[in-house]
A and B are shown apart, each in its own frame.
Chain A
Amino acid sequence: MNLFSRGTLVQLLIGKSVAEALLVTAVAAGFYLTTTNLNLRGWLDQADTETVSGWAVDDGNAANRVDVQLFIDDQFIEQRSANDFRPDVHQAKRAEDDWHGFVFKTPALPPGEHEARVYAVYRGASATRRTLQIIGKPLHFRINAAPGQ
């Protein structure tokens, strides 16, 4: 192989590497942007033997009610809309009205330590893909054994 050909080939290899790196970066960024709601705000306030509660707001569409899903110990429990009365969220200027709270009833669980997670459902622009974004942080709670067990 002559020097000119080798030089051209090396240039093409470098150019190809750069182009593919940029492409992969663009795809990764695009994937993040199309599967993540950057305007989502919310928090998981409480999880105990009775209820799991918190609030969620889509700042990009404040009139919209966010759909939220409860998972306990990584098992799906229930989906509902975050449209419960939470005036404190409004007063803290986190929402434009009082109706962005959610309260799940804690299901019957075996005694022991449990973990509750609540995710917001994000549909994005594509109807073919839905993603879940965690709200706040997972909360742990304990179910005590009933007397006599």
Chain B
Amino acid sequence: MALDSEPPTTDQRASSAALTDRTLAVWEIVSVASSIVIAEWMLAAAAGFSKAIIAVPVGLAVLLILLSHRARGETLRDIGFRFDNFLRALYLLAAPVFIFAVVCLIIGWRLGSSFDFFRWHPKRYLVLQLALGFVWALVQQCVLQGFINRRAMLVAGRGWRSVLVVAAVFGLLHLPNVWITIITLLAGAIWAAVYQRAPNLFALALSHSVMTWFIVSTLPPWALHHLRVGVGYFF
């Protein structure tokens, strides 16, 4: 009886390893996204527990991200902590951010919103709020682009497929806030596309914080619902 007992060829082994790498990349994306979902949805509602318990899934996700970067040999520069392409990334972001700002103004005007560029945490100095917004945006972009986008590219290659994966993950993590989900879906696609051309997290975080400032300042507060997502949206 004939059996396929011949050892795999080099090409077959390479193909198998590549497949395993892709599977692993999908698993990594799902794992980090699930940690965020747990933190957003389950633990915020946990009765009888301190909210500090959120640190468990967040800590596990951070550990996974760090180890994954190390295992894949990704340096800080690879991830996007660099300045050599900062201006190029800003250049690529300029037009989308400008269009986004104009669209926000038009939608806000059509919905009868009053424009107020100081209402994003009015008790804080605007410069401080923008700085805090930048730091939080940098954290989000680090995970979204530096981790998820890079693994999405391993799975689907560079291009619109991986851009869609990143946008979908970013958008869905902002449910059930429908307005923010739509905005993050679009913005996530723009940032993912720019990152694939010029991987620079500082430029992305800058545009992220400026876009958030513009959203809060122009769109009606009832639509944004204090930018709350997950179970916190309902409280």
Docked CA distance A6–B28 (Å): 12
Tell yes or no: A10 within 8 A of B by CB.
Answer: yes
| Contact A6 to B42, CB < 8 A, known contacts A1-B21, A13-B28, A34-B48 | no
Q: How many residues of A contact B (CB 8 A)?
A: 25
**A to B contact number (C-beta, < 8 Å):** 72
Q: B38 touching A24 by the CB < 8 A rule? A: yes
Docked CA distance A5–B21 (Å): 11
Residues of B within 8 A of A124 (CB): 47-48
Q: For this complex, into which size category does the number of interface residues on chain B fall? A: 20 to 34
| Contact A20 to B57, CB < 8 A, known contacts A30-B47, A31-B45, A31-B46 | yes
| Contact A8 to B48, CB < 8 A, known contacts A1-B21, A27-B53 | no
Contact with B31, one of A5, A16, A30, A35 (Cβ below 8 angstroms): A16
Q: A8 touching B67 by the CB < 8 A rule? A: yes
| Contact A6 to B64, CB < 8 A, known contacts A24-B42, A129-B47 | no
Docked CA distance A40–B98 (Å): 61
Query: Can you show 21 pairs from A to B with CB atoms below 8 A apart?
Result: A1-B21, A1-B73, A6-B21, A6-B24, A6-B71, A8-B67, A12-B63, A12-B67, A13-B31, A16-B31, A16-B35, A20-B57, A20-B60, A27-B43, A27-B53, A28-B42, A30-B46, A30-B47, A30-B48, A31-B45, A35-B47
